[in-house]
Structure formats: structure tokens, C-alpha cells
């Protein structure tokens, strides 16, 4: 009998149909895979704009990335749900918000046209458009985090600045991170993680997936949650390959350095 036999978890996938750049949907697939491998059933509900949603009824919440156009579509709807989402997360609901979703979980996002989109204010941070002449932050990323080395891919114009009291998700080893300047990447509040990393993130970083699942189980069934170990050799190989490619430096990194030299 698998460890979690009879256990069930509910995942709210916010705006699954709108916010899904670079296959961020893979995060829901990874969560389900690591549940099912342990005999835990994971029900995934896509929550669309205007649909009824009570965060308290869920054990996990995820939202993916999207470009400015998609962010404008969801911003008003998300704002109305802000207080309920914030209070559920502050009371322990684990969550993952990626890129465009991450930006709107902060205090505000000023997009490339100067339009101000107020966020739900879970993370103490704001995101500003690139200054004139600044490029999008694109490429493979390697982070040092509380979950060990995390790999992913970023592509964002917005520069996120954390308030001094706001905890980061990780520190940039390779890549650009929140703003390309201060070495921070993402943000954490309670059991919620915000990050720019696509990939998608969770399939290649099972320690992060299991952190979210452990918190979800503890919330529903009480501490301590025990997660049976899985054979992660494929995930480890994928992370190792991504890490090697990233450390070697991708084409974009090389061009950036060359352009920097030519500008001097």
C-alpha cells in the first residue's frame, strides 16, 4: 500500500487558461506526479476570471506567468481576490507564483507602457519597467536557495525590487534574477514562493515541489507530514544538465558581455 493511501489534496490553478507562458502548466503536472507516486490523489481545479473561488477550500495554489497583455486581463479579477488569497497564505496555504503571476502578487507592476497594475500585496515588492536602453532579462538561471541549487529559465522586462524586509527566494549564481542588479531572485512569505523561473520550475526542482506538498499535507492532515522518498534520478540528471549548460554560459550571456565591452 502506498504511503499516502486515501489522502487527497486540492490544488487551485489560478488562471490556468490565461497565464501559461513557457509551459508553466508543467508545475501542476509535477505536483500531481509526485502525489500519485505516493498514493496521494491530487484534484486540480483551473480557476478562471470571474469564477467562484474560496482559497480556504484548497491545500495548494499556483499561478503561472504571462505577458503584459495577459496580466491586464487578470489584474482586476485578481485584485478582488487579493484579501482572501493573502489571508489564506498568511495562515499557511502553500503557493507558487511565477513571473507575470509573481509580479501581480507584489504591490504593483508598472508595465512597459507605463500602465500601473496594482497587485495583491502579498510580497513586499514593486516591479518597474526597464529604463530606456535596458534589455529584457532573458536566459538560463542558477540559484542558491534554502532548497539547494535551483535551475530555471527567465524572460522578463520588469525589474522587481524587494522591500528591505522582504525575504528572497534565492540568490543568483548565474542569470539576472529580480532586477539584474542586486543578486536577489523571487520572494517568500510563509509557505508561498514567488519566482521568475520557468522551465517549468517544479519538474526539474523536486525539492521545491516536495516543500509545497509537505506544507499542503501538513495543513490538511496535521504535522508532521511524511513524504515517501521517490527515485529522482531523472530529475537529478535534468537538473545537472541544466546547471552545466547554465554555468558554461549561454549565447545570450556571451552577447551581453560582448555588448557591455563594446559600450565601454
Catalytic residues: 99, 198
Query: Nearest approach, Cβ of 196 to ligand GLN (angstroms)?
Result: 8
Quick one: 200 or 215, whose CB is closer to ligand GLN?
Answer: 200
Query: Nearest approach, Cβ of 223 to ligand GLN (angstroms)?
Result: 34
What distance in Å separates the CA atoms of residue 56 and residue 62, rounded to the nearest whole number?
14
13, 25, 156, 256: residue in contact with ligand GLN (rule CB under 6 A): 156
* Host H or E run for residue 44: strand 41-47
Q: Detail the DSSP E strand segments found in 105-260.
A: 108-110, 116-118, 125-128, 137-145, 148-156, 159-162, 170-174, 184-185, 187-189, 192-195
DSSP state of 124: S
Query: Nearest approach, Cβ of 59 to ligand GLN (angstroms)?
Result: 25
Contact 188, 145 (CB under 8 A): no
Query: Nearest approach, Cβ of 139 to ligand GLN (angstroms)?
Result: 13
Query: Nearest approach, Cβ of 136 to ligand GLN (angstroms)?
Result: 7
Quick one: 100 or 199, whose CB is closer to ligand GLN?
Answer: 100
Contact 109, 122 (CB under 8 A): no
68 is a site residue for ligand GLN (CB under 6 A):
yes
4, 26, 55, 66: residue in contact with ligand GLN (rule CB under 6 A): 66
Closest alpha carbon to 169 in 235, 117, 85, 106: 106
Strands lying side by side in the sheet with 116-118: 116-118, 108-110, 125-128, 159-162
26, 106, 119, 158: residue in contact with ligand GLN (rule CB under 6 A): 158
Total residues at the site for ligand GLN (CB under 6 A)?
A: 12
Residues ≥6 apart with Cβ < 8 Å to 19: 63, 64, 65, 66, 70, 74, 100, 101
4, 100, 119, 180: residue in contact with ligand GLN (rule CB under 6 A): 100
Quick one: 103 or 243, whose CB is closer to ligand GLN?
Answer: 103
Quick one: 23 or 148, whose CB is closer to ligand GLN?
Answer: 23
* Residues of the shown chain interacting with ligand GLN in the complex, contacts defined by CB under 6 A: 21, 65-68, 71, 99-100, 155-158
Amino acid at each position: 500500500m502506498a504511503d499516502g493511501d486515501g489522502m487527497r489534496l486540492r490544488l487551485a490553478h489560478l488562471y490556468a487558461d490565461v497565464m501559461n507562458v513557457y509551459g508553466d502548466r508543467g508545475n501542476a503536472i509535477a505536483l500531481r506526479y509526485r502525489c500519485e507516486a505516493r498514493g496521494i490523489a491530487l484534484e486540480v481545479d483551473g480557476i478562471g476570471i470571474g469564477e467562484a473561488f474560496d482559497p480556504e477550500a484548497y491545500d495548494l495554489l499556483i499561478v503561472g506567468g504571462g505577458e503584459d497583455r495577459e496580466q491586464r486581463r487578470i489584474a482586476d479579477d485578481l485584485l478582488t481576490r487579493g484579501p482572501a488569497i493573502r489571508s489564506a497564505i498568511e495562515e499557511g496555504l502553500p503557493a507558487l507564483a511565477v513571473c507575470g503571476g509573481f509580479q501581480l502578487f507584489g504591490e504593483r507592476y508598472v508595465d512597459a507602457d507605463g500602465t500601473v497594475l496594482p497587485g495583491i500585496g502579498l510580497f513586499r515588492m514593486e516591479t518597474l519597467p526597464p529604463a530606456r536602453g535596458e534589455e529584457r532579462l532573458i536566459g538560463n538561471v542558477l540559484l542558491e536557495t534554502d532548497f539547494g541549487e535551483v535551475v530555471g529559465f527567465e524572460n522578463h522586462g520588469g525589474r522587481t525590487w524587494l522591500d528591505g524586509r522582504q525575504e528572497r527566494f534565492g540568490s543568483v549564481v548565474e542569470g539576472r534574477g529580480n532586477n539584474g542588479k542586486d543578486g536577489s531572485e523571487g520572494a517568500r512569505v510563509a509557505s508561498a514562493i514567488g519566482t521568475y523561473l520557468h522551465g517549468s520550475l517544479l519538474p526539474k526542482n523536486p525539492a521545491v515541489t516536495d516543500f509545497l506538498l509537505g506544507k499542503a499535507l501538513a495543513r490538511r492532515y496535521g504535522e508532521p507530514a511524511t513524504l515517501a522518498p521517490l527515485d529522482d534520478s531523472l530529475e537529478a540528471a535534468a537538473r545537472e544538465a541544466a546547471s552545466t549548460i547554465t554555468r558554461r554560459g549561454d549565447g545570450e550571456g556571451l552577447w551581453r558581455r560582448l555588448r557591455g565591452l563594446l559600450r565601454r
